[in-house]
Amino acid sequence: MESQQHKDLLDKALSIKKRFLGMYKSANAGHVGCSLSVAEVITFVRFAWMKEDDEIILSKGHAAASLYSVLAEDGTLSEDDIKTFYKNDTHLAAHPPVNKVKRIPFATGSLGHGLSLAAGFGISHKLKKNSKTTFCITSDGEINEGSTWEAALFIAHHNLTNVVWLVDRNKLQGYGRTEDVMKLDPLDKKIEAFGFHVIIAEGHNFASLTQAKEEALKSNKPVAIICNTTKGKGWTTYEDKVDCHYLPMKDDQYDIVQREIEAFYNKALSSI
C-alpha cells in the first residue's frame, strides 16, 4: 500500500514539475530553483496529508509556480488558467494573489509573514473547535525575519497542534548561503527551544516525508518539519547555486532539466 502511494506521489511530482518548468520557460521567468526545491514537499502535503477542508500557506511565495501547478494537478486550476502565468490580467502572478484562486487564502512572498498567517488560522480553528489543519511552508532564508520567531512563540504558547510548519531547508537565499548571510544552525535546536516537536526529513524523498508525517501525528506539541532539500534540484548547471534563484532557463538548459527530473523519477521508482 505504501509503495503504491509513493509511486503515485512520484507520478504526481513529475507531472507537477513538468508543468511548472513549462510555465517558467514560456514566461522566460526566474525563481525556477525555488520551485524545484519545494516540489516534493508541497506535493506530499497536498496529496498525502491534507484533508479537503485544510489550508496550505506557501510563505515562500516566489515558488508560486509550484503551487499553481499543484492546484492544476488537483483540478482547482485548469490548463487554460496555467497558460496565463505571468501574462497581463492573470491571477497567476509571480507571487500568489489573495481572493483570486481557491486554496490560496493569502498573498505571500513578502517573506516572514506566512507563519504568522498560519498562526492566525490555527488560533481561529482552535477557538471554533473544528478539526482543520493549516500547513505552512516557509523558506529557510525567511527565518531571518523576526516575525517568524514571534509566530513560532505564539503557536507554541497556544499549543496550536493544528499548525504544521514545514521548512524548505535548501541552505540558500537571495544573496548567498544561509549560513553566510545569517547563521541558522543548529536550526532544529533553536525551533525546539521555542516549544516545537522538531522532525528532520529528506525533502525530496517521499518515504522520509511519510515517516515525518507519522511522527508528527503522534505529537502533542506543535510540529516543525525541517525538510533538507537542494535548491534547483535537477537543474545541473545551477543546482545548489544562488543563480537558480533568479535566472530563467535557456533552451538547452530546459532540455537538461527535463532529462534530469525524468532520471530522478526513474531512480526513485526503482528503489520502491
Domains of the chain: 2-270 (3.40.50.970)
d(CA 156, CA 3): 34
The helix (run of H) or strand (run of E) holding residue 166 is strand 163-169
Categorize the per-residue pLDDT at 1 as very low, low, confident or very high, splitting at 50, 70 and 90. low
- Cis check for the bond before 248: say yes or no (omega within 30 of 0): no
Question: Is 0.95 topped by the overall pTM?
Answer: yes
Model confidence over 207-243: pLDDT tens digits?
999 999 999 999 999 999 999 999 999 998 999 999 9
pLDDT for 229 equals 98
pLDDT for 110 equals 82
Model confidence over 37-90: pLDDT tens digits?
999 999 999 999 999 999 999 999 999 999 999 999 999 999 999 999 999 999
Model confidence over 99-110: pLDDT tens digits?
899 899 999 988
CB 44 within 8 A of CB 209: yes
pLDDT for residue 186 is more than 80? yes
Average of per-residue pLDDT across 176-185: 96
> Following DSSP, what letter does each residue of 77-136 receive, concatenated?
S-HHHHTTTTSTT-S--SS--SSSSTT--S---STT-HHHHHHHHHHHHHHHT----EEE
Model confidence over 108-155: pLDDT tens digits?
988 999 999 999 999 999 999 999 999 999 999 999 999 999 999 999
